[in-house]
Structure 1
Amino acid sequence: MTPLKYLAAYPPALQEKVRTLIVQERLEEYLRQRYPERHAVQSDKALYAYTMALKQEFLRNAPGLDKVLYDARLDVLQKALGLHTAVSRVQGSKLRAKKEIRIAALFRDTAPQFLNMIVVHELAHLREFDHNKAFYQLCEHMLPGYHQLEFDLRIHLTWRDLQAKS
């Protein structure tokens, strides 16, 4: 039985369908059929503009972002595909917090839907810090079909791991 670390929380029947695709060597075909194109957001500047456009559309009243960038140090092994942080600095007698979003560099070469999903996920943290019901409702509001994209991203990560092992 193939361990599916990214899909461990999903029902056994769904995991078995993915295992069947793996055994039949059709996982890549499934992903290419559903997500054939790659996005053009390659630079940190383009990623910042992309993220700010989504923020402006859905989260106008949320705190501003000072930095959005691809981070090569983020990796799925660290269980982080994206991070939202607030870096606090003392400037004179005032404390300034700069909000940052870092997206794992592996998203430079993925489908636009996966980049959209991870950016929406990190933006939702501006309003909801925990992964609770309100958080996922906000994600679904900003990106209808969010849950299916998250599942397919987990399949993509599984396929990526299998490629690295072979």
Structure 2
Amino acid sequence: MLPLKYLQAYPATLQDKVRELIAQERLGEHLATRYPLRHEVQSDKALYAYTMALKQQHLRNAPGIDKVLYDSKLDVVQRALGLHTAISRVQGGKLKAKKEIRVAAVFKAAPPEFLQMIVVHELAHLKEIEHNKPFYQLCRYMLPDYHQLEFDLRVFLTWRELPPPVGTDHRG
């Protein structure tokens, strides 16, 4: 049975459906039908603006963000799709914290829904540090279909790691 490392926490019935699409070589087609577009947020500057617009829309009173960027060093295999960090530095006699959001560079070529899901996830960490019930409630507040998008994003990552059919490169 094919191990699905990004989908291990999901019920066997869902994993079996994904395995069936893989066996039929239809997983890419399935994803392309559901998510036909690729987002246009290609630079760090555009990603910062995109993130700040979502923050302004949903989390006006949350702490500010100093930096947002694509990071080619984030390893999706280690489950780091994005990263929210607070770096504390002493400046003068004060301790200053700089908040950063980093998004794995692989998502430059992803559907807009997946980028939005990752940014929403990282923004939710501004208010909720842990992945607990209030955290996921906040994610759903900002993006009502958050859980479906998270599942589909994991299916997308699974598809990206499949060997391409002979004579093609399906990863784009």
Q: What letter corresponds to residue 64 of structure 1 in structure 2?
A: G
Q: How far has the Cα of 1:78 moved from its partner?
A: 2.6
**What is the Cα-based RMSD across aligned positions, in Å?**
1.3
Q: What does the per-residue CA deviation read over 1:93-133, in whole Å, with 9 as the maximum and x for residues that have no partner?
A: 11100000000001100000000000000000000101011
Residue 81 of structure 1 is matched in structure 2 by 81
Look up the equivalent residue of 2:137 and give its one-letter code.
Q
Give 1:45's aligned residue: 45
Shift of 1:77: 2.0
Name the CA distance, whole Å, in 2 between partners of 1:9 and 1:79: 13
Number of the residue aligned with 2:93: 93
> Normalized against structure 2, the TM-score is what?
0.94
* Identical aligned residues as a percent: 73
Structure 1: state its 5+ residue gaps: none
Give the drift of 1:92: 1.0
> 2-side partners of 1:58 and 1:165: how far apart?
42
Q: How does 1:2-151 map to 2 (within 5 A)?
A: 2-151=2-151
Query: Where has structure 1 moved over 2 Å in runs of 4 or more?
Result: 163-166
* 1:156 alignment partner, SS class: helix
* Distance (whole Å) between structure 2 residues aligned to residue 58 and residue 71 of structure 1: 24
Q: Secondary structure at the match of 2:98?
A: strand
Flag the structure with higher helix content. 1
CA 1:96–1:77 in 2, change beyond 3 Å: closer, same or farther? same
Alignment of 1:151-162 (within 5 A): 151-162=151-162
CA distance in 2, matches of 1:164, 1:155: 15
Which amino acid letter does the alignment assign opposite residue 158 of structure 1? T
How far apart are residue 165 of structure 1 and its match?
A: 10
Instruction: Tell me the secondary structure at the aligned position of residue 148 of structure 1.
Output: helix
Q: Give, in whole Å, the separation in 2 of the partners of 1:63 and 1:79.
A: 25
CA distance in 2: counterparts of 1:73 and 1:164, whole angstroms: 24
The Cα shift of 1:164 comes to 7.2
For 2:33 and 2:153, the matched residues in 1 are separated by 14
Q: CA deviation at 1:33?
A: 0.3
Q: Which segments of 5 or more consecutive residues in structure 2 lack a partner in the other structure? A: 167-172
CA spacing shift, 1:57–1:105, aligned 2, 3 Å: same
Secondary structure at the aligned position of 1:102 is classed as: strand
SS at match of 2:37: coil
2: distance between equivalents of 1:64 and 1:145? Answer: 25
Equivalent residue of 1:162, what SS? coil
Q: TM-score, normalized by length of structure 1?
A: 0.97
